[in-house]
Structure 1
Amino acid sequence: MEILFLLLAAAALYAAFGSGRLPRPFRSLGRRRPYSGPKRSSPTPLNAYPRVVPKSTPVLDSSDQLRVVMGAAFEKTRLMSRPEYDVFRVVETHLRRCGPGYRLMAQTSMGEFIRSADPSAHSSINSKRVDMLIIDTFGFAVVAIEHQGSGHYQNDAAARDAVKREALRRAGIEYLEIFQHHQPEEICALVSGAIERSKPPAAAPIPFPQTGRT
């Protein structure tokens, strides 16, 4: 029986090797695959990960503010652009001829010279600024001047100007726009007209009763 089993096994091996074919389990051992180099994972696109932008946390404590300021560098910059400063000089010189007490301020925050009992309304104008502000001898705002340069109307500048214009109108302050094409004599005339419009109307003289003699 064992001899018969060995003969059958030998016949099977002869049939496999004699035909030049290997049994299926041994075929992969004798076959070489072409070398394609080390396997590389596909690169991850840069936009697959969200960009993390560090946000600065507002420093509220005075001691922390001092520490942050002492560790930072500062440099001075222009308060006004060159065209704005040219207009400022013209207006400042002209105010000497408009009457005593008029003064000119630059880049003034609106929350410093007008206010509203409505918190939402006040916060809407508190951080907005006017390019120039004329004040009278008592320190009250008289005329707010906006210089409309070449790069003024950008983004929502028109909407911001509308907010400022309406708030100033409600506060009784003249709003004056100076454009690039205005010459110095035209600027002086516009300023004089705005100051005159800001003055309260003169009270009519009170007539004295006339008593006739009898």
Structure 2
Amino acid sequence: MPHNRLIGVALFIIAALLILGIIRLRRRQRQKSDKNNPILQRAREHLQAVRGAPFQAKPLANRLEKAAYQTAVDIVQKRRRNEQVLLQVSLGEILQSKDRRAYWAVNSKRVDLLVIDHELRPLAVIEIDGSGHGLSRDIARINDKIKDIVLAAAGIPLIRIPAPDDNLGTIRILVQQQLTACLKRLA
């Protein structure tokens, strides 16, 4: 009996070592494949970064974007054409490019407001050029230029609303004037 028990323990240890060896081998293979696939490697890094990190909900728009949104919604509702206004839409959702590098350069950039028609096609983009988003001026300028280029290339009108003093009344008036004029031109 003790001899059988000893054989059982030995078999258990061998099986455990074999399983650990297989796990280590798979881990090494995955790490090698990650090095050959930077997108997969980045995805794994993102997964690691979010595990256990604190998150909390926040408003979708700042006060200037909210004022612009409410004004734009009023305009499209009065037109009664089943148009909608969306907030914070990724350019990757409304643009495509055969050039993968160019596509990835714009994929995660967002527009403040997007006006879409009843078939969910983009009609116009509204950008509030205020002090928000917490970006340096240089980065904000580059991002603005990227949006100018890609939206023009796609034929989507871009309405820039300057908000140097963050005045809500000015925002509402400018959105009213410029969006109304833009939608009339598209009709």
Please classify the TM superposition score into its range, dividing by the shorter chain length: 0.5 to 0.7
What does residue 176 of structure 2 align with? 188
Report deviation, 1:58. 5.0
SS at match of 1:108: strand
What does residue 140 of structure 1 align with? 121
Over 3 Å counting, the alpha-carbon distance change for 1:184 and 1:72 in structure 2 is closer
SS at match of 1:145: strand
Q: CA RMSD in A?
A: 2.6
Report deviation, 1:133. 0.4
State the TM-score, normalizing by the size of structure 2.
0.65
Number of equivalenced pairs: 140
1:80-99 matched pairs, under 5 angstroms: 80-99=61-80
- Is 1:160–2:164 an aligned residue pair? no
Higher helix share: 2
- Choose between structure 1 and 2 for higher RCO, CA contacts under 8 A separated by at least 6 residues: 2
Asked if 1 retains the 8 angstrom alpha-carbon contact of 2:124 and 2:156, the reply is yes
Query: What code does the residue aligned with 2:129 have?
Result: Q
Over 3 Å counting, the alpha-carbon distance change for 1:113 and 1:59 in structure 2 is closer
Query: What code does the residue aligned with 2:161 have?
Result: I
State how far apart, in whole Å, the 1-side matches of 2:150 and 2:87 are. Answer: 19
State how far apart, in whole Å, the 2-side matches of 1:105 and 1:193 are. Answer: 19
What does residue 55 of structure 2 align with? 74
Query: Which structure has the larger Rg over C-alpha atoms?
Result: 1
Report deviation, 1:177. 0.8
Counting aligned pairs with the same residue, the percent is: 27
What does residue 116 of structure 1 align with? 97
Question: Where do 4+ consecutive residues of structure 1 move more than 6 Å?
Answer: none
Q: What are structure 2's unaligned runs of at least 5 residues?
A: 1-40
Asked if 2 retains the 8 angstrom alpha-carbon contact of 1:131 and 1:145, the reply is yes
State the TM-score, normalizing by the size of structure 1.
0.58
Report deviation, 1:196. 2.6
Over 3 Å counting, the alpha-carbon distance change for 1:76 and 1:169 in structure 2 is same
State how far apart, in whole Å, the 2-side matches of 1:197 and 1:117 are. Answer: 29
Report deviation, 1:80. 1.2
Report deviation, 1:128. 0.8
SS at match of 1:107: strand
Query: What code does the residue aligned with 2:128 have?
Result: H
SS at match of 1:178: strand
Over 3 Å counting, the alpha-carbon distance change for 1:198 and 1:165 in structure 2 is farther
Asked if 2 retains the 8 angstrom alpha-carbon contact of 1:173 and 1:198, the reply is no
